[in-house]
Structure formats: C-alpha cells, structure tokens
C-alpha cells in the first residue's frame, strides 16, 4: 500500500501544480492602457491672477486682478475674455483674449470713452513692444508684465470739466 501512496503523491503534486499554473494564467487580466493624452492648458491661463503694480523705479502703486470668463461673440461663437480690475488704479474693463504669435503678449487693446471710477472718460491704448528697448513691453516674462500704454482725456476734458491729461506710461505688474 505504501508503494501505491508513493506513486499517487507525485501524481497529486503534478495535478495540483497544473491546476495552480492554469489558475494563475487565467486569473490575471491584462492591464488596460490608460490614455496619457491630456487636454492642453489654454494659453490665457498664464495671465490670470493677482498682480502688484510698481512704477519703473520700484515704488509700489496698487493691486490689480486679471480674471477669465467665457462669453459669446457677435457670431455666436464662444470666446475667452479677461476682466481686468483696477488697471492703473482707475479702470475696470473687459477685453477679448486674442491669440498672438507671441503667446506671452498681453493685448488689452485700445479703448475710447472708457469710464474711470469717477465717471470721467478716457482714451486708453496698449502699445505693442517697443523694439528700440531691450525689455519686452506688454509681455509676460516669468511673472512680470511691463504695461506700456497711452492714456489721455483730450476728447473729454472740456466737456467733463477736468484738467487735461496725456501720458505715454509704463508700469510693472508682478503676478503673485
């Protein structure tokens, strides 16, 4: 009887080994590939945030905020826009975001008859980069934008009984 048991034992071991191998082969599922495709970050994101604004000598002037919102243009298409709060410590206004060849260029456009916080009207115009200087104006570099703009009330100062004002100005905004 012990001879029979000794022959059966290896047979059971072999059957057990085959069953374990069979179960292990079919119990594992092949891992499904997870798509690594991610949505690209919109280019407007880089401009959104809180800024501390300084004059060109480094003296703090005011806080400013740029926020994003989506809207519908006159053609019924969705567009990205910015709401700029406290620009020049004087204006709150909206601008459409326009993609530029230089993705870091911040185009806040030209605005005629833009009201300030006191209800007086102005002409505000963003300058493009001045190639005669080594710095890039109205361009986000790291966390800084040098705002270069023209501000005047020439069309409105008489009718609004305020002093005439004209400035080709520069201020430095540092994103917080």
The answer to whether residue 124 sits within a structural domain is: yes
**Total tally of structural domains belonging to the chain:** 1
Q: How confident is the model at residue 28 (pLDDT cuts 50, 70, 90)?
A: low
The answer to whether residue 144 sits within a structural domain is: yes
CB 124 within 8 A of CB 156: no
pLDDT at position 3 = 58
118-154 residue pLDDT tens: 999 999 999 877 778 888 999 999 999 999 999 999 9
- The two structure tokens encoding residue 121: 């009207």
The answer to whether residue 29 sits within a structural domain is: no
CB 130 within 8 A of CB 107: no
CA distance 10 to 3: 12
The answer to whether residue 41 sits within a structural domain is: no
The answer to whether residue 61 sits within a structural domain is: yes
Q: Report how far apart the first and last C-alpha atoms of the chain are (Å, whole number).
A: 87
pLDDT of residue 161 exceeding 70: yes
The answer to whether residue 14 sits within a structural domain is: no
The answer to whether residue 2 sits within a structural domain is: no
The answer to whether residue 20 sits within a structural domain is: no
68-82 residue pLDDT tens: 999 888 888 889 999
- When the pLDDT of each residue in the chain is averaged and rounded to a whole number, the result is 87
Dihedral sign (CA 86, 90, 91, 92): positive
Cα–Cα distances in angstroms (integers) from residue 171 to residues 94, 145, 155, 162, in the given order: 19, 8, 24, 24
Please give the residue range of the domain that contains residue 155.
49-175
Compute φ and ψ for 21, nearest 5 degrees.
-65, -45
Q: Which residues contact 41 (CB under 8 A, 6 or more apart)?
A: none
- The two structure tokens encoding residue 143: 């966390």
């Amino acid at each position: 009887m012990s001879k029979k048991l000794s022959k059966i034992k290896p047979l059971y071991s072999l059957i057990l080994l085959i069953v374990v191998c069979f179960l292990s082969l079919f119990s594992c599922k092949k891992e499904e590939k997870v798509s690594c495709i991610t949505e690209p970050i919109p280019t407007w994101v880089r401009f959104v945030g809180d800024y501390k604004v300084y004059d060109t000598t480094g003296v703090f002037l005011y806080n400013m905020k740029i926020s994003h919102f989506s809207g519908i243009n006159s053609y019924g298409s969705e567009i990205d826009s910015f709401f700029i709060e406290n620009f020049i410590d004087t204006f709150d206004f909206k601008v459409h975001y326009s993609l530029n060849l230089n993705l870091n260029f911040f185009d806040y456009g030209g605005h005629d008859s833009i009201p300030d916080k006191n209800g007086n009207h102005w002409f505000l115009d963003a300058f493009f980069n001045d190639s005669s200087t080594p710095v890039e104006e109205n361009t986000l570099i790291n966390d800084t934008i040098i705002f270069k703009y023209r501000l005047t009330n020439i069309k409105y100062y008489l009718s609004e009984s305020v002093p005439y004002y004209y400035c080709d100005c520069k201020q430095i905004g540092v994103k917080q």
